[in-house]
Chains A and B, each alone.
Chain A
Amino acid sequence: MTQALIELSDLGFSWPGHPPLLDIPAFRLEPGQTLFLKGPSGSGKTTLLGLLGGVQKPNRGSIRLLGQELTELSAGARDHFRVDHTGYIFQQFNLLPFLSVRENVELPCHFSKLRAQRAIQRHGSIDRAAATLLAHLGLKDQGILRRRADSLSIGQQQRVAAARALIGQPELVIADEPTSALDYDARENFIRLLFAECREAGSSLLFVSHDQSLAALFDRHLSLADLNRAATPSEV
């Protein structure tokens, strides 16, 4: 069995003064896999992503990313590890409005040497990596690179966010409701482009959404409620 990309075991988390929010006995995500994780809001989904990103530490249990035990790292090292190996796409307003599209895509390369190196190795330069990714995601117009991020439509912005998550080929792309602001046709289109790029970059995709209709497109689909023993019945 190959090394899992994500491996959770006996993970427990609660916010101080609150009942346990997460209690996950076991969870694995294989390299290169696309996973749909269904979770309504309030189900601990955001907290789980925070734990995977190393922003929070669990009360107990282990989180392994690429074999690295996150709980053993310092806060700074977890930040470092996150940007080196994880790209994020959020629901909406993912971009810094005052930067150009190109600068937004290149942001992770300024904070992670590893991703800058990989981008240069693969595309020759960070600029070209950004342009290529954007072109693959359907933003072929060169003029768009220089435009302010907030001058784009929502759909275009999400593609820019995807390009940013993918630049420098992180092993894991975490997408948190990235399609909720898009209409149905755009959703499927966006996901197909995202899949193609993840495959190209060799990245796994952890896609969190409450929209069951997209689940069929993924290699695997799971419900957080099935995974999480702490889930209350009302959420199931």
Chain B
Amino acid sequence: MYLFRLAIASLANRRFTAILTAFAIALSVCLLLAVERVRTEAKASFASTISGTDLIVGARSGSVNLLLYSVFRIGNATNNIRWDSFEHFASDPKVKWAIPMSLGDSHRGYRVMGTTEAYFEHYQYGRQQHLELADGRAFATDPFEVVLGAEVADALHYKLGDKLVLAHGVAAISLVKHDDKPFTVVGILKRTGTPVDRTLHISLGGMEAIHIDWHNGVPARGEGRVSADQARNMDLTPQAITAFMLGLNNKISTFALQREINEFRGEPMLAILPGVALQELWSLMGTAEKALFVVSLFVVLTGLIGMLTAILTSLNERRREMAILRSVGARPWHIATLLVLEAFALALSGVVAGVALLYLCIAAAQGYVQANYGLFLPLAWPSEYEWTLLGGILLAALLMGSVPAWRAYRQSLADGLSIRL
């Protein structure tokens, strides 16, 4: 204990270097833990994005692409599928429920999804959780009703009864707006931590209505225009949708139905198992995620090497200190221990400061990260794995401390009690 007191006093004497060294370690520890935490949370939230759905069906493309646009609202479908194809499979006796999805429009950067009431009834995320309304109701018979995801409502400050205009296309800045047919907010969903929070839900009829007078991707002009009221009285059954989700009566029939859809003669379609596609997608991102982790490990190593350099550089100017300690009875192993303790003290304060910095950053950025990336970073105690990482860093510091310790040991044996300037 007395040696530890000496090590601290000696460090305090070189406090500028010591603080810088500890700070470098703190930054690297903070980075490592942040990467680790984001990684863990991303994986967890990723895996819980969708559950309870047996098959996702879209136009034939890649399974990851289909998963991305149907579940994560990222990217676009290569093609639509016909409404009668959807009806064909929705009425299949193996199918318990079917949710049609029609994508392609947006509102101030948030994607709009046309669907049916079945979505609110059957869609599940996380551990078989259903969507719940925080306020209002699901859309009903009027086509111009919209149900907002929690984040959309929060970020854009919408409340029930507000009117909003959808934009054509999914670009952040939309040039073409469906401003002749405004929608009324009738419901706001509870937060799910999934892409649902960032989605505006309208009925398929509504989706059809805003495009009813469009031809070849542009709205009709003058005479050809159809007003909202006119649209209400027209047949709003869609011709095509983007994708649909299926829940089956019996899980065993999943593969049979998947094959049936993939071999469907009506049009080329692709059915994927969400779990498998999620795995596939995660393994794609896994490489980047591992690379990030390795990089942050190297940053920690850099921090520790900085410490090693600082201690080694100080050794020569501290020969006198060592000699004095020897003359008052410190044995060479005391000197060596002193240096190991010094490294340990630096690393420990770096780790403590790094963890503190991490919590500070999480506390500051939690809201922002959740709003923008849908990731909830908890202000929780370090996990077992994180403790292991921190322990590993301290152990590495001890090992590194043994290098200057060994040098000082040799040096103090050679110098003995007398060092003269």
Residues of chain A at the chain B interface (Cβ within 8 Å):
46, 49-50, 53, 55-56, 75-76, 79-80, 82-84, 88, 90-99, 103, 107-108, 110-112, 164, 176
Task: Flag whether B416 is at the interface (Cβ < 8 A).
Answer: yes
| Contact between A93 and B320, CB atoms less than 8 A apart | yes
Tell me the complex Cα distance, A93–B320, Å. 8
Q: Which of B324, B332, B334, B420 contacts A96 (CB 8 A)?
A: B324
Bitwise, B299-328 to A at CB < 8 A (1) or not (0) is 000000000000000000000110011111
Bitwise, B1-28 to A at CB < 8 A (1) or not (0) is 0100010011011000000000000000
| Contact between B13 and A97, CB atoms less than 8 A apart | yes
With A50-B417, A53-B416: A111-B13 Cβ-Cβ less than 8 Å: no
Residues of the A chain whose Cβ atoms lie less than 8 Å from the Cβ of B328: 83, 88, 107-108, 111, 164
10 A/B residue pairs, CB under 8 Å, sorted by A: A50-B417, A75-B332, A79-B326, A80-B329, A91-B420, A93-B421, A96-B324, A97-B13, A98-B12, A108-B328
- Which residue on chain B has the smallest CB distance to residue A105? B328
| Contact between A83 and B320, CB atoms less than 8 A apart | no
Residues of the B chain whose Cβ atoms lie less than 8 Å from the Cβ of A75: 332
Task: Flag whether B177 is at the interface (Cβ < 8 A).
Answer: no
| Contact between B334 and A56, CB atoms less than 8 A apart | no
Interface residues in B399-421 by Cβ distance below 8 A to A read 416-418, 420-421
| Contact between A88 and B325, CB atoms less than 8 A apart | no
Q: How many pairs of residues, A versus B, come closer than 8 Å at their CB atoms?
A: 66
Tell me the complex Cα distance, A91–B420, Å. 8
Q: Which of B10, B326, B329, B421 counts the most chain A CB atoms within 10 A?
A: B329
B34 → chain A closest CB, angstroms: 35
| Contact between A176 and B418, CB atoms less than 8 A apart | yes
Q: Which of A76, A90, A99, A108 contacts B9 (CB 8 A)?
A: A99
Given contacts A91-B420, A98-B10, 8 further A-B contacts (CB under 8 A): A50-B417, A55-B417, A56-B416, A92-B421, A95-B324, A98-B12, A108-B328, A108-B329
| Contact between B417 and A88, CB atoms less than 8 A apart | yes
Task: Flag whether B330 is at the interface (Cβ < 8 A).
Answer: yes
Residues of the B chain whose Cβ atoms lie less than 8 Å from the Cβ of A82: 329
| Contact between A98 and B13, CB atoms less than 8 A apart | yes
A175 → chain B closest CB, angstroms: 12
| Contact between A96 and B321, CB atoms less than 8 A apart | yes
A69 → chain B closest CB, angstroms: 20
| Contact between B9 and A46, CB atoms less than 8 A apart | no
Residues of the B chain whose Cβ atoms lie less than 8 Å from the Cβ of A90: 327, 417-418
Q: Which of B2, B12, B327, B331 contacts A88 (CB 8 A)?
A: B327
Q: Which 6 A-B pairs rank lowest in CB-CB distance, beginning with the nearest?
A: A83-B329, A111-B329, A98-B13, A55-B416, A107-B328, A88-B327
| Contact between A53 and B417, CB atoms less than 8 A apart | yes
| Contact between A111 and B330, CB atoms less than 8 A apart | yes
Residues of the B chain whose Cβ atoms lie less than 8 Å from the Cβ of A97: 13
With A97-B13, A98-B12: A79-B331 Cβ-Cβ less than 8 Å: yes
| Contact between B416 and A50, CB atoms less than 8 A apart | yes
- Which residue on chain A has the smallest CB distance to residue B1? A110
Q: Which of A49, A55, A110 contacts B2 (CB 8 A)?
A: A110
Residues of the B chain whose Cβ atoms lie less than 8 Å from the Cβ of A55: 326, 416-417
Residues of the B chain whose Cβ atoms lie less than 8 Å from the Cβ of A50: 416-418
Residues of the B chain whose Cβ atoms lie less than 8 Å from the Cβ of A88: 327-328, 417
B171 → chain A closest CB, angstroms: 64
A106 → chain B closest CB, angstroms: 9
| Contact between A49 and B420, CB atoms less than 8 A apart | no
- Which residue on chain A has the smallest CB distance to residue B3? A110
| Contact between A96 and B417, CB atoms less than 8 A apart | no
Q: Which of A79, A103, A164 counts the most chain B CB atoms within 10 A?
A: A79
Q: Which of B13, B326, B327 counts the most chain A CB atoms within 10 A?
A: B327
Residues of the A chain whose Cβ atoms lie less than 8 Å from the Cβ of B418: 46, 49-50, 90, 176
Residues of the A chain whose Cβ atoms lie less than 8 Å from the Cβ of B321: 96
Residues of the A chain whose Cβ atoms lie less than 8 Å from the Cβ of B9: 96, 98-99, 103
B420 → chain A closest CB, angstroms: 7
| Contact between A96 and B325, CB atoms less than 8 A apart | yes
B5 → chain A closest CB, angstroms: 9
Tell me the complex Cα distance, A223–B421, Å. 25
B321 → chain A closest CB, angstroms: 6
Residues of the B chain whose Cβ atoms lie less than 8 Å from the Cβ of A46: 418
Tell me the complex Cα distance, A83–B326, Å. 9
Residues of the B chain whose Cβ atoms lie less than 8 Å from the Cβ of A96: 6, 9-10, 321, 324-325
With A50-B418, A56-B416, A91-B420: A76-B331 Cβ-Cβ less than 8 Å: yes
Tell me the complex Cα distance, A109–B420, Å. 25
Tell me the complex Cα distance, A95–B10, Å. 12
A81 → chain B closest CB, angstroms: 10
A86 → chain B closest CB, angstroms: 9
Q: Which of B2, B320, B329 contacts A79 (CB 8 A)?
A: B329
A207 → chain B closest CB, angstroms: 16
Residues of the B chain whose Cβ atoms lie less than 8 Å from the Cβ of A79: 326, 329, 331-332
Residues of the A chain whose Cβ atoms lie less than 8 Å from the Cβ of B325: 96, 107
Residues of the B chain whose Cβ atoms lie less than 8 Å from the Cβ of A108: 328-329
Residues of the A chain whose Cβ atoms lie less than 8 Å from the Cβ of B330: 111
B325 → chain A closest CB, angstroms: 7
Tell me the complex Cα distance, A94–B13, Å. 16
| Contact between A112 and B420, CB atoms less than 8 A apart | no
Tell me the complex Cα distance, A2–B327, Å. 28
| Contact between A112 and B417, CB atoms less than 8 A apart | no
Residues of the A chain whose Cβ atoms lie less than 8 Å from the Cβ of B420: 91
Tell me the complex Cα distance, A76–B421, Å. 27
Tell me the complex Cα distance, A149–B292, Å. 49
A181 → chain B closest CB, angstroms: 11
Residues of the A chain whose Cβ atoms lie less than 8 Å from the Cβ of B334: 111
B88 → chain A closest CB, angstroms: 84
Tell me the complex Cα distance, A47–B420, Å. 13
B140 → chain A closest CB, angstroms: 78
- Which residue on chain B has the smallest CB distance to residue A148? B13
